[in-house]
Amino acid sequence: MSNRRNSFYLLILFALLAWLVSGRTFLLHLAYVGFGVLVGAFVWSWMSINWVSIARYTQTRRAQVGQPLIEHFSVHNTGLVPKLWLAVLDHSSLPHHNASHVVPTLLPRRRYQWQASTVCTRRGVFTLGPMTVLSGDPFGLFQFPRRIEATAEVIVYPLTVPIHRFATPIGPLTGGRAIRRRAHFITTNAAGVREYQPGDSFNRIHWRSTARRRRLMVKEFELDPLGDVWIFLDLSQAALVERPGAADFRGLPPQLPPSTAEYGIVAAASLAQYFVDKGRALGFVTYGPQREIVQPDRGPRQLLRVLEILAVARSESEQALQHMLALEAHLLGRGTTAIIITASQDPAWAAEAYALARRGVRLIAVLIDPLSFGAPPANHTDFRAMVEAAGALVYTIRQDDDLTAALSYTPSARRRAIG
């Protein structure tokens, strides 16, 4: 483009010099025409980049690894001059999001639309935008950019895999849902309403019943015979093992980056979805690297809370797993189930797990084998047997394993769970 302008500059200069030497008016007119073409091309390019409206929108700002994110674009020519061409360059941080597009000739007051569909391959929070719009004149002499700084954020949840059957946690009461006991504290199970008594907390007032009966009514809660399920995800630096190139991994789902942290996050997200679908009260703890605790609750909103934490979690915590178990042990009452997901083979956390089992906490360990990710062999020979001796039911995950098969019941695991 600059070469074309330089050619015009040389043509104008040559015409002027030739006119001064020969005095022929034709050469002067030729210089005028060249100058006029330059001015006209400049004005056309400037007008082509202005009086243009660009809109982009998505149906949702949430996506999940393995699912497509569809974005819609619309370009509107609000001026009276046709736009011969427009190049829309997108600068989004979402991996593989190729939303750039060349808009063909756009007549006055007309609109052009297109959409970009991208399969999400990496969890996290990403930015959609900004954009740069380019346009120019018909001769290709000038090209003007216009940057549109508007941005929006989209969160991509981690991949989840279906789990058909997992070890069934045991509650503090026998009889399953057939036994109901009133609780003096707030639980996830509302049993009914009664009249307000002095000392009742105001957050227990049921306002609809109060309005209908014209006197204060409070909710009654019952003890859940099915114990809470807690997921402990170890994202400490000491437990991280990943092969070179894991940070720049570009494989398509369901293939996972060769990192123990990514396998642990997918396992945690899948188990959270499994227990929420089963209607269980689920709690979640991780240091990723900030301390994140989600108190036990049911329903899809609980799953979204966990997925939002996992979407931005990083394996940068300096707290080892045994410290996390020791600091958060007060969350686990008798009859609850703790699912520990880790790649650590440190015997210290197995000792903490044994202390929890002595208190009546049922333990399930999801061990991510660091040797399969290239870690050097540990000093002890059979860490799985050590964890089982601490009272935990053990699932093992290795690199490139089918996580659905690895986290679903096997006959040996089922016998241990029944026994």
Q: CA 227 to CA 363: how far, in whole Å?
A: 13
Average of per-residue pLDDT across 124-144? 92
Beta bridge partners, 106, equal 83
Query: pLDDT (tens digit, 9 = 90+) per residue, 358-410?
Result: 998 999 999 999 999 988 876 656 888 999 999 899 999 999 999 999 998 65
Packing angle of the helix pair 25-49, 2-22 (nearest 10 deg): 160
Return the pLDDT at 203. 78
How many whole angstroms separate alpha carbon 322 and alpha carbon 346? 9
Lateral strand order in the sheet of 124-128? 62-64, 152-157, 124-128
Using an 8 Å Cβ cutoff, are 198 and 229 in contact?
no
Q: What percent of the chain has pLDDT over 70?
A: 88
pLDDT on residue 358: 92
Residues 6+ apart with CB under 8 A from 154: 58, 61, 62, 63, 69, 94, 125, 126, 127, 128
pLDDT score, position 414: 38
pLDDT of residue 171: 55
Sign of torsion, CA 241 389 230 399? positive
CA dist 330 and 273 (Å) reads 24
Element (H, E) at 294: strand 291-297
The Cα 162–Cα 252 span in angstroms is 18
Residue 136: CA count within 13 A, CB half-sphere = 12
Evaluated on CA atoms 357, 361, 362, 367, the torsion sign reads negative
Q: What is d(CA 25, CA 11) in angstroms, rounded to the nearest whole number?
A: 15
pLDDT above 90 covers what percent of the chain?
A: 54
> Among residues 241, 185, 214, 188, which one has the least CA distance to residue 372?
241
What's residue 381's pLDDT? 64
**pLDDT one-digit tens code per residue, 10-23:** 888 888 888 888 88
Q: Which domains does the chain have, with CATH numbers?
A: 180-223 (no CATH), 229-418 (3.40.50.410)
The phi, psi pair for 153, rounded to 5°, reads -105, 145
Q: Which of 112, 123, 69 is nearest to 262 (CA)?
A: 123
Given the DSSP bridges, would you call strands 217-223 and 190-195 parallel, antiparallel or unpaired? antiparallel
Q: What are the DSSP E strand ranges found in 62-151?
A: 62-64, 68-77, 86-90, 101-103, 111-119, 124-128, 131-136, 143-148
Contacts of 198 (CB under 8 A, 6+ apart): none
Identify the burial level of 203 via C-beta atoms within 10 angstroms of its C-beta, where 0-12 means exposed, 13-18 middle and 19 or more buried. exposed
pTM above threshold 0.85 = no
CA–CA gap between residue 231 and residue 265 (Å, rounded): 11
How far is the C-alpha of 396 from the C-alpha of 343, rounded, in Å?
A: 10
Q: Are 65 and 120 in contact (CB under 8 A)?
A: yes
What's the mean pLDDT in 33-42? 89
- DSSP, collapsed to helix, strand or coil, labels residue 65 as coil
Indicate the DSSP class of residue 126. Answer: E
Name the band, by pLDDT with cuts 50, 70 and 90, for residue 191.
Answer: low
pLDDT above 50: residue 6: yes
Higher pLDDT, 170 or 192: 192
The per-residue pLDDT for 183 is 52
pLDDT digits (tens, 9 = 90+) for 292-348: 999 998 889 999 999 999 999 999 888 999 999 999 999 998 889 999 999 999 999
Q: How far apart are CA 148 and CA 56, in angstroms?
A: 11
pLDDT in tens, 91-104: 999 998 989 999 99
**For the segment 249-282, what is each residue's pLDDT rounded down to a tens digit?**
777 777 889 999 999 999 999 999 999 998 888 9
Q: Using CA of residue 373, residue 377, residue 379, residue 383, what is the dihedral sign?
A: positive
Q: What is the per-residue pLDDT for 174?
A: 44
pLDDT tens digit sequence for 41-90 = 999 999 999 999 999 999 889 999 999 999 999 999 999 889 999 999 99
HSE (side-chain half, CA atoms, 13 Å) at 75: 29
Lowest-confidence region among 69-73, 166-170, 194-198, 224-228: 224-228
* Structure confidence at residue 3 (pLDDT): 73
